[in-house]
Amino acid sequence: MIHNFSLDSAAQTADLAGRIGPHLQAGDVVLLSGGIGAGKTHFARSLIQALQTPLGLVEDIPSPTFTLVQTYPLGNVEIWHADLYRIGSVDEIFELGLVDAFENNISLVEWPDRLGSDTPSRHLALEFRQGKSENCRNLKITAKGDGWEWLKNV
């Protein structure tokens, strides 16, 4: 299942993240790809905030570029936000505990190409590309595996 979106502003990107977030559950993996500045981190922040706000949780959500992984509580599950840009080898992914997190948490992974053969077979792949102007993005969402039927209503 493939869906294409044209996002004309950062606000539209945040709105889409807010519509996707409530559907995610433990074991869901969202792979965020695109060049530097494509909107991956903005989407992830918006999604995390959309999930935490109804629970009264307000946190600063920094980019995990240097920490590699940031975790956020969400009731009985955690959100794992990983940025693999600085990963030197696939072994580091195991050291971070990311593969285990895929099973029990909601995982948002920037630069997912670094996962190699550890890419979960069931995932949502979001590919961000530059749109018609500086603030516009084209987003292609590809659902792999079962359980993404809700996406057609987003």
CATH of residue 18: 3.40.50.300
pLDDT at 11 over 90: yes
Place of tokens 């493939």: 2
Q: Identify whether 152 is part of a domain.
A: no
Q: Identify whether 83 is part of a domain.
A: yes
Q: Identify whether 112 is part of a domain.
A: yes
Q: Identify whether 154 is part of a domain.
A: no
Q: Identify whether 145 is part of a domain.
A: no
pTM over 0.75: yes
Tell me the per-residue pLDDT of 71-84, one tens digit each, with 9 for 90 and over: 999 988 999 999 99
Structural domain tally of the chain? 1
The rounded distance, in Å, linking the Cα atoms of 130 and 143 is 21
Q: How many residues does the chain have?
A: 154
The rounded distance, in Å, linking the Cα atoms of 33 and 39 is 9
CB 63 within 8 A of CB 41: yes
Q: Identify whether 147 is part of a domain.
A: no
Measured at the alpha carbon of residue 141, what is the angle toward residues 139 and 144, in degrees to the nearest 5? 160
The two tokens of residue 6 are 């044209």
Question: Residue 130's beta-bridge partner residues?
Answer: 137
Domain hosting 118: range is 7-137
